[in-house]
Copies of this chain bind each other. A is one copy, B any other.
Amino acid sequence: MADPRFFTRAGPFTLNQLAKATGATLGPEAPGDLDVVDVMPLAMADEGHLTFIDNRKYLDAFRTTKASAVFAAPALEAQAPEGAALLLTEDPYRAFAVAATMFYPRPKVEPGIHPGAHVASGAEVAPTSRVEAAAVIQDGAVIGDNCLIGPGAVIESGVAIGADCIIGAGVTLQHCLVGDRVIIHPGVRAGQDGFGFAPGPDGHLKVPQLGRVVIESDVEIGANTTIDRGAGPDTVIGAGSKIDNLVQIAHNVRIGRGCIIVSQVGISGSTQIDDFVMIGGQAGLTGHLAIGKGARIAAQSGVMRDVPPGATIGGSPAKDMRDWLKESAALSRLVRKKGG
């Protein structure tokens, strides 16, 4: 089980309860009243545990698992290990996510303001929310219901945060409007000045940055990621988008709904990213681009042109993924042919 120093387990739950909560169907030999006591990855699962298989690469582990129950696709039913109850579903990973959340629910926020927190008299904090030690909430800031403001977090003047948000330790927010159910991990910086200068030989003149950062509901932002506020328009992170650690999002960028942006990506100013775009780690996008809906950008890509909806691109400079792979292959052949 997860280390009890850090995690509190709920349960047990019966297979019937789990099937109902996840939309899975009990396999033919699965006893609905069987108790499961914990969730576990396939490689670590033992008696009493619930696990899942969503990758044929792990079929051998599946066939020999000692887990008491397994979320699996119906197509795998014939290969089930003896003694393991199946919970059949077309999306075993998603079902496992639901079940894991039942066993390890997010801890309830204990309302209250730590005596070591610094909440300005002109700030509004909902009485259902918690503010930890050394956190700072300035005048004019508004914190909605059931929020957790972590130790040392700084919510500057005028920032508004919706309900059910987690603001991690050491986060700093300025000039931000934040929706509901947003999770911001430790060290995120949002709302500081964008990188705007009128360059010149006698000095680069700072251009006032007059926009905001708008973080819509159900967004999650990874540790030490930076999001600059808009220069005039806002910088916007669309609802349900997930951003990993150490990502850079420049001023005026708009990210659509449901995007996934992996660690260390950099997005330059004013680039517009439509819904459900996926961007691999360390990719970089220049400014003023339009990235179409559902586009997929490979890790370490260098994107210098607009990307059409649904396209998959890679390389630096980035091009259609197939072209990039062909070019890599052609270059290898060129060397081999010449005897290197």
Contact = CB atoms under 8 A, between A and B. Distances in A.
Interface in A167-200: 168-170, 172, 174-175, 183, 185-187, 189, 192-193, 195, 197-200
A135 B116 CA distance: 10
Chain copies in the assembly? Answer: 3
A299 B205 CA distance: 22
Contacts of A96: 198, 207
A235 interface: no
Interface in A135-180: 135-136, 138, 140, 150-152, 154, 156-158, 160, 168-170, 172, 174-175
Contact of A40 (B201, B207, B228, B232): B232
Nearest to A220: B206
Interface of A: 2-3, 5-7, 39-41, 44, 91, 93-94, 96-98, 100-101, 103-104, 114, 116, 118, 132-136, 138, 140, 150-152, 154, 156-158, 160, 168-170, 172, 174-175, 183, 185-187, 189, 192-193, 195, 197-201, 203-208, 210-212, 218, 220, 222-224, 226, 228, 231-233, 240, 242, 244-246, 248, 250, 258, 260, 262-264, 266, 268, 276, 281-282, 284, 286, 299-300, 302, 316-317, 319, 322-323, 326-328, 330-332, 334-335, 338, 340
Q: Sorted from nearest, which 10 A-B pairs have the closest CB atoms?
A: A118-B133, A94-B198, A189-B223, A2-B210, A5-B158, A136-B151, A169-B172, A41-B232, A226-B245, A116-B118
